[in-house]
A and B are shown apart, each in its own frame.
Chain A
Amino acid sequence: MNTIVRKQMSINTDVMDMLNNQIAMEMKASASYLAMASWCDQRELLNSKAFFYKQAEEEREHAMKIFTFINDNGGAAISPSVTNVNNDFESLRAIYETGLEQEIAVTESIFKIFKAARKADDFITEVFLQWFISEQSEEEDTFRSIIDVFDLMEGMPLKMIDERLPKE
């Protein structure tokens, strides 16, 4: 890295831009989970609402982790605007399927940043992102397990399915 910039920043500037995009993605995911939580809350799906409120908090925590990481390493973290949040869903199963798709998109995005960091010899970001990769693997597994429950309990009342789902 350019020595002038290196003295001010420990991370690569292009990778920093990607991390800022990731903050926006995590915040959008948080807002999306909040909309899902509200849909469940209005329909008294107690376990699902608790699950999505928790997911919304977790996504925000992920965004904040990246946010402080950028600033701690001399970069400039950007507070994102979150727009076009979908609040309209067709079913509880569709919500969890959307959740899984969202998690996969986040995982793929982190992979891209990881690759860019590796290519730029930005080892600090590479090591930082390893936690996110493990976390995403767990998140995807959680959603897949829940969707499995829907398949196993096909035809059962929604409230009964909800009672078998994890709260977090």
Chain B
Amino acid sequence: MPVKNVVNTNNSYQIQHITFCKYALITPNKIINLSFPQMLELRRKINALTTYSALNSIIDNENFVLLFVADKQHLIFLEIPQLLKLKDEIAAFFQEAVLA
């Protein structure tokens, strides 16, 4: 499915596989193209932000995070529910599923 036809109707972030080495992070405002290394970096950042202590720290302070993605070409705004949803989305993308 061409990524330009995707309409993000909710407030969450989604990931889409476009071609062999091209992925898209679909945000409520824009579509961000990502390479695989950029996907791995996004995964690392989101995992670091969603540890118990990191989440507590976010909640105790601004209650949101600003995150650079795609080699600092884009800045995204995430509230806690969006952050947790994106963590699940990324986990599902990388999940260990042996396809029959």
Residues of B within 8 A of A (CB): 17, 20-21, 36-37, 40-41, 43-44, 47, 93-99
Contact = CB atoms under 8 A, between A and B. Distances in A.
Interface stretch (A7-15, A28-36, A128-136, A160-168): A7-15
A2 B97 contact: yes
Contacts of A2: 93-97, 99
A13 to B, nearest CB: 5
B96 A1 contact: yes
Given A4-B17, A7-B20, A8-B21, A75 B96 contact: no
What range describes how many residues of A lie at the interface?
10 to 19
Interface of A: 1-5, 7-9, 12-14, 17, 74-76, 78, 120
Given A8-B36, A76-B41, A76-B44, A3 B93 contact: no
A76 B40 contact: yes
A108 B37 CA distance: 30
Contact of A13 (B94, B98, B99): B94
Nearest to A75: B40
Given A13-B43, A76-B44, A78-B44, A5 B37 contact: no
